[in-house]
Chains A and B, each alone.
Chain A
Amino acid sequence: MANFVLNRRNLLAAGGSVLAAGVSGLLLPARAQGLVPTPSMSGGSNNYLKGAPTVDRIGKGGFWMSGTVRRAGDGAPLAGQRIQIWAHTTEGQEHEPHSHGATLTDKNGAFRLEMPQIIPIFGQPHGHLAYDSGEFKTVFLRPVMRSAKETSLEAHFVLQPA
């Protein structure tokens, strides 16, 4: 039996969650069902360079960045979407052009690009990814590796029409 005690802490917690639900409801347009679009992550666009070339591999490789691109709502995989990738690696810093590259998603909406090993920069081992081709709204992601020793990283995009 749960006895609900009305004290200040419970009231604050309940009030806070009502407030949070209300505010997020106002900020995000109502989506009756389906997949919610991925928001850009803070710091995701840092050291972004527009128009990174599509490459088979960034530098000498050894590390795999992979992920998927899907459409908001129905979750349909999006083929042929250009995803840009950059990071601080063993072969260069984030802002250096040779640390940047782009790849396209396959028919299943999946992408996979080999790049040099990511190493911690600014206190976290992380990569950057961008979708900015214009057909859908631009999204910048900044996934963090669980450990600097990992040799792969994933990031997933759910895009909404621009």
Chain B
Amino acid sequence: MRLAKATLIWAVLAAAVCVPIAAAAASPLLAWRGPVYILAGFAGIIALGLMLVQPLLIAGYLPGLSAYRGRRAHHWIGGALAVAVLVHVGGLWITSPPDMIDALLFASPTPFSPWGVIAMWAIFAVALLAALRRRLGLGPRTWRIAHMSLAVVIVVGSVVHGMLVEGAMETVSKTALCALVLAAAIKVMADLRVWRKRT
């Protein structure tokens, strides 16, 4: 029974992350895109997938992983998430510099751009804070509040960004992944009682 539950959790997680990637890989739009643009798009999809894994890892919801291993994986995947966002933005910049510059300057006509750019800065901020946490002498409570506040910005920004984009992602698998990303973040934040004062 326990094994079945563990298998189910991992299978659902794998499907939630992999099905949108596979569906996007089957998109007819890819035929008319250059390799850099395709890479940039998939970096964005992978980043969204990693965003689902992150809260599950840190809260210890993934069966078979010790708290220590979960925490270590959370750190590494956090780094990978920042790299994925860099590839996403860098690849789009190479594909069409004026469109990317407009987006970064909040001057883009596309409604999804500011959401993505704000989420990007929040991701970089978390990565930077995590790297400098000891040097800055951030206490656990300050760190948690900072990380969680930025996590809210990241999750909301990324989900809105992803849902508004009309691109290679298939609508149903994209919506499902976005819903799971939101649900996982909400559940973990509620369970960890981040906002309450520790006694």
Interfacial residues, chain A to chain B (CB-CB below 8 A) = 41-47, 88-90, 93-95, 119-125, 142, 148
Contact = CB atoms under 8 A, between A and B. Distances in A.
A124 B164 CA distance: 9
Interface in B106-147: 107-110, 112-113
B32 A90 contact: yes
Q: Which of B29, B92, B112, B113 has the most CB of A within 10 A?
A: B29
Contact of A122 (B32, B34, B107, B110): B110
Interface of B: 29, 32, 34, 92, 95-96, 98-99, 102, 107-110, 112-113, 164-167
A148 B107 CA distance: 23
A121 B167 CA distance: 7
Contacts of B110: 43, 122-124
B108 A43 contact: yes
B99 A122 contact: yes
A121 B166 CA distance: 8
In terms of DSSP, what is the predominant structure of the interface of chain A? loop
B29 A122 contact: no
A125 B166 CA distance: 8
B118 to A, nearest CB: 16
19 contacts: A41-B109, A42-B109, A43-B98, A43-B107, A45-B98, A46-B98, A47-B98, A90-B32, A93-B95, A93-B96, A95-B96, A120-B29, A120-B166, A121-B96, A122-B92, A122-B99, A123-B110, A123-B113, A123-B165
A47 B164 contact: no
B34 A119 contact: no
A123 B112 contact: yes
A146 to B, nearest CB: 11
A116 to B, nearest CB: 9
Contacts of A95: 96
Enumerate the 8 nearest inter-chain pairs by beta-carbon distance, A residue then B residue, closest first.
Answer: A46-B98, A123-B165, A43-B109, A42-B109, A122-B99, A120-B166, A43-B102, A123-B110
Q: Which of A44, A45, A120, A142 has the most CB of B within 10 A?
A: A120
A124 B34 contact: no
B166 A148 contact: yes
B96 A42 contact: no
Contacts of B109: 41-44, 142
A159 B109 CA distance: 21
A43 B166 contact: no
Q: Which of A47, A88, A123, A148 has the most CB of B within 10 A?
A: A123
